[in-house]
């Protein structure tokens, strides 16, 4: 709130100066004349979110509109100076498109901007210096941002991701410069000391991984960045690459230096065209500046990066399957007869890390392990980027220190529930994780605490659900995802998840039988214990955790044929509340299967046998008399 | 570290292993059998069937014996209640998508899935659910593939890609619908398949069977005669499967020193000549432009006479002999001796020079 007031008062000052500058605002008919009379507005920067989220809601159109409107008013010089900037994701996706206008030292942030709003902003704000108050970002925006600790995302929304100089201006590639002046041993030790744990899910200490690999004397080694991000509901890695691909590249080069590898791969799904494009641009620019290629910064160290596009199979995010996929084989996990640090890609020692893990590296090297440890907890240092989605007001990308309470993330940053429905739980870690019920939101979010309640950090997706979501149905959604994505190699995952899906399906259809819950538990545990890779080993988590915390919902489906959330269509039953029915007959008119009998002045009645449970009457009733 | 200095205890019995060996190797040394379905000595360990899971002391999860390397001081228990229970669970899952066809199945009595189900006393009932009803693939002159019986052990895929290097089949699809298949499901024809039958030889179930031997007897009804392949000089061994005095099939001899059970199309499927009515049983001499049957004496006399005439007319170098890989070593030796002492030259060769 305070921040908001401050900017507002400042912009009032602008009003006066601006008013003097440009008395005639309606100069559209004679743009050239006005250009002469006004002159370019100095120090004007307009930042428009152009991440995938932004682009999806039309950032390109908004950019064009700004360019057009500014040109029409002769604010030409500034366009050439890139006053309309494309930036990476600014996080608050639910309020996209976010537009930030910086003019003569004052900054205002607009939310939910569409092309048709541009002209008014240009006329009133940029020309008259009078911000359009009703479109300014509100309390949500500030709550959302002020409680975060942006370390990785600090530059997001501020630097142009397609311009290496923008990154260099904010100390980009300084970490690499510093690393190359140290021995490879010192670099590895620094990463070890930072306590950084892999952000790809399992939280393995990155420094240790690097150390294992650096010990090998093999002449060729590989370093791979895992940008597969197959978890439905996760978009952190995509956003990091779109917003600041250079940080990932810099992290990879430092990693290559540490382990003694001169060849890196970024494995990225083909469904991320913008991220791929930005990565390609960044790699090209880094080569031009001598950060990639032979004899980097005159250190004698060579390193280059190739991009390998994946076809988007979830299992290809698993380390050994990913390596098989790069080799051109079918992406199937391999039994861990040897560690990748000994025999990885093409049988050579390999280090594989997640996008976010690499993005942390330059900062750790530049600022030191001590600085890094000042964020987060003892065992999970640093910050973590999460994608917060589902039934909360503010959805989007957030960065917080490890160990922050779930409650703070969901209620304070996320703004709590969207409507009148109570929040029920949060699913962390996507299909590999588990749900955590709302009464346990006082849980610190770090690798170990999440695991202790049967969930996991996973990649960092958080899907918040409220009491309109059926937990059995939710579990069914995730297991159908994992069954679909299972590589089919091992029996428990291939057939076991299929059987779990069948049992869950019959429960949600009201055909569950007693013993089904126990069967799910037994089978789930056996799948966890006997599957080959992490996909199968974690696939039952959503089912087991929903049984653990919401067993009553399962029982209610099986024993009473009732879905407490009212979400399972086959269990729904529509009846007319005779007390509130006003005999209007609207329901009977919309019913597609003539299941409702009604005559003028009589109350409606729904024939159970004819009802197809489409819900049309429910929507049509003006008096909420259909239940 | 030198070889065989890693001490491992299998069910309390200590064995010495090398650092590259797995628990499965160690168990073999200890004389302990661990159940497997996807394991074949000829192939890289796969870890797909999960039946070889064992308990390792101080490791909280069961470990697959085929893909876990031994460590010094490791204590392994291969048959605890817990691992037996989990193996049962895995087997029940397999059987829940397997036709109950053992009475008519070619592989009965020689099927690893059948033996293990029997041993563990499981049926497919516990996890009954959707099961496949896919068309049988009879598009190859030598092999029939019944996908419904496939347990996706991946052995056929691995042998075809890693041993034969033919690359005919690969795992396709995902999840429950994964299946070994050719590219785009095309028939296995000469375009893409070598008809070596290696895939059939490694299949642990009745999913892949030899077309020629179909319906001619179960494994336990056959007399197995170990022999050496008559086709080329490699000298692969295999078993002729004989029933009612007829050779009805060839099966692999995994202990064969030369080929370790591997065969090519000739050795595995080229046995029809044995009972062919077109097979020559006596020498034939061309008389007045016609082929007529003769006795061995007649034939040998004729050869001796003609060779003598040729040598007299054109010198000893004008004759030579070419022997056959389908003769025994002794016969080949005799022929070469004959050429050098009687023809007095070195004009002798054999098609076995591969
Ligand atoms: C089924 C499955 C999917 C995975 N998907 C991803 C992924 O999309 N991105 C990722 O970074 N790690 C993923 N992982 C984890 C990787 O196997 C690996 O542990 C990780 O990338 C290592 O990097 P880190 O140490 O930096 O976390 C996945 C694991 C499994 C089992
Ligand atoms: S657990 Fe699933 S995804 Fe992993 S190897 Fe087994 S079948 Fe494949
Ligand atoms: S017969 Fe030989 S080449 Fe053909 S699929 Fe089987 S193993 Fe491959
Ligand atoms: S066909 Fe036979 S060898 Fe091939 S995967 Fe199926 S069961 Fe295994």
- Tell me the pLDDT tens digit for each residue of A511-540: 999 999 999 999 999 999 999 999 999 999
Q: What is the mean pLDDT of residues A442-466?
A: 91
Q: What share of chain B is helix, strand, coil (3-state, %, to 5)?
A: 30, 20, 50
Asked if A206 and A357 touch (Cβ cutoff 8 Å), the reply is yes
Compute the nearest-CA separation of B13 from chain A (Å).
23
Q: Does A538 touch chain B (CB under 8 A)?
A: no
Helix (H, G, I), strand (E, B) or coil at A81: coil
Q: Do residues A526 and A620 share a domain?
A: no
Inspect the interface and report whether the beta carbons of A336 and B67 lie closer than 8 Å. Answer: yes
Task: State residue A3's pLDDT score.
Answer: 39
Q: Do residues A493 and A446 share a domain?
A: no
Rg, chain A, Cα only: 28
Helix (H, G, I), strand (E, B) or coil at A259: helix
Q: Do residues A190 and A299 share a domain?
A: yes
Mutate to test the pocket of ligand 4, among B112, B152, B163 (most ligand atoms within 8 A of CB): B152
Write the residue with the smallest CA distance to atom 28 of ligand 1. Answer: A318
CATH of residue A43 = 3.40.30.10
**Which band of pLDDT confidence, cut at 50, 70 and 90, is reported for residue A134?**
confident
Distance in angstroms (rounded) separating the CA atoms of residues A623 and A184: 73
Q: What is the mean pLDDT of residues B58-75?
A: 96
Condensed to tens digits (0 to 9), the pLDDT of residues B232-265 reads 878 899 999 999 999 999 999 999 999 999 999 9
**Ligand nearest to the CA of residue B264, numbered in listed order:** 3
Residue A160 forms part of a structural domain: no
Write the residue with the smallest CA distance to atom 6 of ligand 2. Answer: A490
Asked if A527 and B61 touch (Cβ cutoff 8 Å), the reply is no
Condensed to tens digits (0 to 9), the pLDDT of residues B151-183 reads 999 999 999 999 999 999 999 999 999 999 999
Q: What is the mean pLDDT of residues A126-153?
A: 84
Q: Does A328 touch chain B (CB under 8 A)?
A: no
Task: State residue B232's pLDDT score.
Answer: 80
Distance in angstroms (rounded) separating the CA atoms of residues A512 and B236: 57
Asked if A111 and A141 touch (Cβ cutoff 8 Å), the reply is yes
In A, minimum Cα distance to B155 occurs at A489
Domain membership of residue A78 as a residue range:
33-138
A396-401: strand order across its sheet: A396-401, A383-390, A461-466, A423-428, A434-437
Distance in angstroms (rounded) separating the CA atoms of residues B70 and A275: 43
Q: Does A489 touch chain B (CB under 8 A)?
A: yes
| Nearest atom in ligand 2 to A533's CA | 4
**Ligand nearest to the CA of residue B156, numbered in listed order:** 4
Counted domains in chain A: 5
**Which band of pLDDT confidence, cut at 50, 70 and 90, is reported for residue A419?**
confident
Angle at A70 between CA A69 and CA A71, to 5 degrees: 90
Q: Is the CB of A333 under 6 A from ligand 2?
A: yes
Q: Do residues A194 and A68 share a domain?
A: no
pLDDT at A572 over 90: no
Q: Under CATH, which architecture does the B5-79 domain have?
A: Roll (3.10)
Residue A600 forms part of a structural domain: yes
Q: Do residues A360 and A280 share a domain?
A: yes
Distance in angstroms (rounded) separating the CA atoms of residues A70 and B239: 87
Q: Which residues pair with A353 in a beta bridge?
A: A225
In B, minimum Cα distance to A496 occurs at B93
Residue A155 forms part of a structural domain: no
Question: Interhelix angle for A139-146 vs A2-21, to 10°?
Answer: 120
Task: State residue A532's pLDDT score.
Answer: 96
| Nearest atom in ligand 4 to B37's CA | 8
**Which band of pLDDT confidence, cut at 50, 70 and 90, is reported for residue A559?**
very high
Burial of B125 (0-12, 13-18, 19+ CB in 10 A): exposed
Q: Do residues A218 and A358 share a domain?
A: yes
CATH of residue A477 = 1.20.1440.230
CATH of residue A410 = 3.10.20.600
Instruction: Kindly provide the ipTM of the predicted complex, given to two decimals.
Output: 0.89
> pTM surpassing 0.90?
no
Task: State residue A386's pLDDT score.
Answer: 93
Alpha-helix residue ranges (DSSP H) falling in B30-111: 81-96
Residue owning tokens 């080069």: A253
Q: Does A492 touch chain B (CB under 8 A)?
A: yes
Query: Each residue of A168-177: b (16+ CB within 10 Å) or e?
Result: beeebbbbbb
Write the residue with the smallest CA distance to atom 2 of ligand 1. Answer: A318
pLDDT at B326 over 70: yes
**Ligand nearest to the CA of residue A231, numbered in listed order:** 1
Question: To the nearest whole number, what is the mean pLDDT of chain B?
Answer: 94
Strands A605-606 and A596-597: antiparallel
**Which band of pLDDT confidence, cut at 50, 70 and 90, is reported for residue B285?**
very high
Q: Do residues A84 and A98 share a domain?
A: yes
* Domain positions in chain B: 5-79, 98-275, 284-353
Q: Do residues A408 and A312 share a domain?
A: no
Show Cβ contacts of residue A59 under 8 Å, excluding neighbours closer than 6 positions: A48, A49, A50, A86, A96, A97
Q: Which range scores top for mean pLDDT: A105-119, A406-420, A488-502, B319-333? A: A488-502
Tokens of A41: 């507005």
CATH of residue A615 = 3.30.70.20
Tokens of A378: 């003892």
Asked if B98 and B33 touch (Cβ cutoff 8 Å), the reply is no
In B, minimum Cα distance to A330 occurs at B171
Which of A57-71, A253-267, A310-324, B197-211 comes out lowest in average pLDDT? A57-71
Task: State residue A25's pLDDT score.
Answer: 40
In A, minimum Cα distance to B176 occurs at A494
Condensed to tens digits (0 to 9), the pLDDT of residues A161-220 reads 999 999 999 999 999 999 999 999 999 999 999 999 999 988 999 999 999 999 999 999
Mutate to test the pocket of ligand 1, among A317, A484, A536 (most ligand atoms within 8 A of CB): A317
pLDDT at A5 over 70: no
Condensed to tens digits (0 to 9), the pLDDT of residues A39-88 reads 345 578 888 877 777 778 888 888 888 888 888 887 754 444 445 667 66
Q: Under CATH, which architecture does the B98-275 domain have?
A: 2-Layer Sandwich (3.30)
Instruction: Judge if B5-79 and B98-275 fold alike in CATH terms.
Output: no
pLDDT at A23 over 50: no
Distance in angstroms (rounded) separating the CA atoms of residues B269 and B274: 12
Inspect the interface and report whether the beta carbons of A526 and B129 lie closer than 8 Å. Answer: no
**Which band of pLDDT confidence, cut at 50, 70 and 90, is reported for residue A37?**
very low
Q: Percentage of chain B with pLDDT > 90?
A: 86
Tokens of B194: 């070598």
Condensed to tens digits (0 to 9), the pLDDT of residues A331-386 reads 999 988 889 999 999 999 999 999 999 999 999 999 999 999 999 999 999 999 99
B212 CA → ligand 3 middle, Å: 16
Helix (H, G, I), strand (E, B) or coil at A335: coil
Distance in angstroms (rounded) separating the CA atoms of residues A578 and A271: 52
Q: Which of A446, A466, A486 is the last residue of a domain?
A: A466
B20 CA → ligand 2 middle, Å: 24
Q: Do residues A548 and A626 share a domain?
A: no
Q: Do residues A276 and A364 share a domain?
A: yes
Inspect the interface and report whether the beta carbons of A337 and B97 lie closer than 8 Å. Answer: no
Asked if B92 and B122 touch (Cβ cutoff 8 Å), the reply is yes
Alpha-helix residue ranges (DSSP H) falling in B100-158: 112-120, 155-158
Residue A107 forms part of a structural domain: yes
**Which band of pLDDT confidence, cut at 50, 70 and 90, is reported for residue A625?**
confident
Residue A359 forms part of a structural domain: yes
Q: What is the mean pLDDT of residues A562-576?
A: 86
Tokens of A35: 């250009």
Tokens of B153: 């052990």
Q: What is the mean pLDDT of residues A590-618?
A: 85
Q: Do residues A349 and A207 share a domain?
A: yes
**Which band of pLDDT confidence, cut at 50, 70 and 90, is reported for residue A10?**
very low
Q: What is the mean pLDDT of residues A227-250?
A: 92
Show Cβ contacts of residue B290 under 8 Å, excluding neighbours closer than 6 positions: none
Angle at A511 between CA A508 and CA A516, to 5 degrees: 85
């Amino acid at each position: 709130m305070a921040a908001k007031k401050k900017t507002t008062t400042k912009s009032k000052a602008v009003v006066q100066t601006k008013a003097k500058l440009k008395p005639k605002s309606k100069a559209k008919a004679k743009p050239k004349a006005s250009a002469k009379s006004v002159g370019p507005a100095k120090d004007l920067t307009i930042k428009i979110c152009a991440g995938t989220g932004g682009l999806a809601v039309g950032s390109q159109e908004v950019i064009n509109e700004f360019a057009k409107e500014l040109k029409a008013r002769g604010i030409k010089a500034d366009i050439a100076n890139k006053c309309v900037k494309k930036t990476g994701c600014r996080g608050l996706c639910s309020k996209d498109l976010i537009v930030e206008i910086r003019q003569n030292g004052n900054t205002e942030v607009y939310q939910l901007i569409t092309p048709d709003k541009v002209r008014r902003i240009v006329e009133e704000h940029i020309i008259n210096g009078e911000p359009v108050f009703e479109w300014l970002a509100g309390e949500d925006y500030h709550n959302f941002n002020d409680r975060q600790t942006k370390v990785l995302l600090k530059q997001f929304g501020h630097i142009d991701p397609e311009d290496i100089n923008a990154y260099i201006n904010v100390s980009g590639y300084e970490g690499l410069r510093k690393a190359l002046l140290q021995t490879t041993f010192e670099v590895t030790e620094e990463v070890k000391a930072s306590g950084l744990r892999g952000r790809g899910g399992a939280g393995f200490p990155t420094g240790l991984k690097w150390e294992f690999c650096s010990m090998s004397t093999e002449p060729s080694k590989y370093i791979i960045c895992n940008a597969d991000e197959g978890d439905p509901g996760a978009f952190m890695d995509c956003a990091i690459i779109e917003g600041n691909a250079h940080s990932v590249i810099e992290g990879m080069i430092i990693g290559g230096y540490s382990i003694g590898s001169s060849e890196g791969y970024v494995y990225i799904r083909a469904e991320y065209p913008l991220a791929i494009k930005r990565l390609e641009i960044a790699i090209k620019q880094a080569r031009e500046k001598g950060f990639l290629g032979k004899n980097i910064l005159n250190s004698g160290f060579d390193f280059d990066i190739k991009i390998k596009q994946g076809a988007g199979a979830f299992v290809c995010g698993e380390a050994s399957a990913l390596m098989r996929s790069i080799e051109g084989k079918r992406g199937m996990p391999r039994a861990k007869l040897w560690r990748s640090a000994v025999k990885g890609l093409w049988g050579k020692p390999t280090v594989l890390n997640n996008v976010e893990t690499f993005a942390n590296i330059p900062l750790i090297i530049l600022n030191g392990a001590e600085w890094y440890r000042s964020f987060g907890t003892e065992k999970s240092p640093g910050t973590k980027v999460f994608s917060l989605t589902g039934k909360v007001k503010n959805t989007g990308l957030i960065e917080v220190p490890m160990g922050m309470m779930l409650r703070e993330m969901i209620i304070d940053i996320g703004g709590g529930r969207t409507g009148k429905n109570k929040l029920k739980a949060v699913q962390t870690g996507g299909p590999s994780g588990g749900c955590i019920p709302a009464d346990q939101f006082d849980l610190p979010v770090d690798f170990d605490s999440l695991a202790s309640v049967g969930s996991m950090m996973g990649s960092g997706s958080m899907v918040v659900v409220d009491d309109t979501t059926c937990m059995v149905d939710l579990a069914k959604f995730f297991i159908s995802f994992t069954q679909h994505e299972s590589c089919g190699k091992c029996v428990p995952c291939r057939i076991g998840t299929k059987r779990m899906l069948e049992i869950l399906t019959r429960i949600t259809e009201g055909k569950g039988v007693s013993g089904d819950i126990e069967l799910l538990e037994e089978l789930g545990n056996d799948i966890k214990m006997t599957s080959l890779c992490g996909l199968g080993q974690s696939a039952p988590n959503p089912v087991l955790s929903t049984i653990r915390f919401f067993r009553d919902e399962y029982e209610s489906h099986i024993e009473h044929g009732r879905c407490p959330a009212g979400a399972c269509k086959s269990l729904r039953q529509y009846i007319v509340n005779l007390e509130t029915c006003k005999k209007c007959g609207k329901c009977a008119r919309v019913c597609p299967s003539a299941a409702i009998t009604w005559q003028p002045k009589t109350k409606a009645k729904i024939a159970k046998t004819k009802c197809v449970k489409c819900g049309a009457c429910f929507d049509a009733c003006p008096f909420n008399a259909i239940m | 570290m030198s070889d065989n200095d890693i001490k491992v205890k299998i069910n309390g019995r200590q064995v010495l292993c090398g650092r590259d060996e797995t628990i499965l190797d160690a168990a073999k040394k200890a004389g302990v059998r661990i159940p497997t379905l996807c394991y074949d000595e000829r192939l890289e360990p796969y870890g797909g069937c999960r039946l070889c899971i064992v308990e390792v002391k101080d490791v909280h999860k069961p470990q697959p014996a085929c893909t876990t390397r031994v460590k010094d001081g490791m204590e392994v228990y291969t048959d605890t209640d817990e691992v037996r229970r989990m193996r049962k669970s895995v087997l029940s899952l397999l059987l829940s998508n397997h036709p109950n066809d053992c009475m008519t199945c070619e592989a009965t009595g020689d099927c690893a899935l059948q033996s293990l189900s029997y041993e563990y006393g499981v049926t497919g009932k516990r996890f009954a659910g959707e099961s496949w009803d896919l068309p049988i693939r009879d598009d190859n002159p030598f092999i029939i593939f019944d996908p419904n019986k496939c347990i996706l052990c991946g052995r056929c895929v691995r042998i075809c890609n890693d041993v034969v290097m033919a690359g005919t089949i690969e795992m396709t699809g995902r999840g429950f619908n994964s299946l070994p298949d050719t590219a785009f499901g095309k028939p296995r024809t000469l375009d893409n398949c070598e008809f070596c039958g290696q895939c059939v030889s490694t299949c642990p179930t009745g999913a892949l069977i030899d077309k020629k031997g179909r319906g001619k007897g179960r494994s336990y009804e056959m007399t197995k005669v170990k022999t050496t392949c008559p086709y080329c000089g490699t000298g692969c061994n295999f078993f002729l499967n004989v029933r009612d005095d007829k050779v009805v099939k060839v099966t692999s001899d995994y202990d064969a020193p030369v080929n370790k059970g591997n065969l090519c199309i000739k050795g595995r499927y080229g046995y029809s000549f044995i009972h062919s009515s077109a097979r020559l049983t006596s020498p034939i001499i061309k008389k007045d432009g016609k082929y007529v049957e003769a006795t061995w004496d007649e034939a040998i006399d004729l050869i001796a006479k003609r060779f003598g005439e040729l040598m007299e007319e054109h010198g000893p170098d004008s004759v030579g002999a070419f022997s056959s890989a389908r003769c025994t070593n002794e016969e080949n030796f005799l022929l070469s001796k004959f050429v050098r002492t009687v023809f007095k030259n070195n004009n002798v060769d054999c098609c076995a020079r591969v």
